[in-house]
Structure 1
Amino acid sequence: SRFVGSVSCDSEPAPRPPRIGMPNPAAVYCEQQGGTLMPVQTPQGVRSDCKLPNGEIIDEWTLWRREHPDTKK
């Protein structure tokens, strides 16, 4: 005899956990420029560098401030 299992389609997927806060604008900007975020361990903790398509590697916030000079910290 063959066993045929059934899957109920009535159950809904588990809700996603809520997002807390806003995304990091420097990280978002890096990715919008086609860059790749690279975590870097420092004595102060982990920060992210942005590797741009032209090969430049720059701290994500340095890139953000360079391209957004009118933005306050």
Structure 2
Amino acid sequence: MKKTVLVGTVLSAVLLAGCNASQEAQTNDTSIGMPNPAAVHCESKGGTHEIKKTDAGETGTCHLPDGTSVDAWQLYRDDMGQQQ
């Protein structure tokens, strides 16, 4: 009797632990894949978005069709401010 209860308890614990692990993996996957709004805006204007890595971090540059290059987030803020 004690052996049956022990086996049942261990089996239940293993099954519950397995359910928890798969939920955790699904939660982590939901935050991946969100596009950078500044990059999307740059490309919608016909430009190409480039990320440059420096010692200070990363910066996004938008190369527009007319040959100008601007900070992608500054372009986004300037244009979005005009739409409001």
Quickly name the TM-score band, shorter chain normalised.
Answer: 0.5 to 0.7
Q: Which runs of 4+ in 1 moved over 2 A?
A: none
TM-score (ref. length: structure 1): 0.62
1:56: which partner in 2? 68
Shift of 1:70: 6.6
Shift of 1:69: 1.1
Q: Secondary structure at the match of 1:55?
A: coil
Q: Secondary structure at the match of 2:81?
A: coil
Aligned residues: 55
Which ranges in structure 1 are unaligned for 5 or more consecutive residues?
1-16
Instruction: Describe the superposition over 1:25-51 as per-residue Cα deviations: whole angstroms up to 9, x where unpaired.
Output: 110000111101122222221211000
Shift of 1:18: 6.3
1:31: which partner in 2? 43
| Aligned-residue identity in percent | 44
> Highest relative contact order (Cα 8 Å, sep 6+), 1 or 2?
1
Tell me the distance in 1 between the aligned counterparts of 2:68 and 2:36: 20
- CA-based RMSD: 2.3
Q: Secondary structure at the match of 1:68?
A: helix
Q: Secondary structure at the match of 2:49?
A: strand
TM-score (ref. length: structure 2): 0.55
Q: Which has the higher helix share?
A: 2
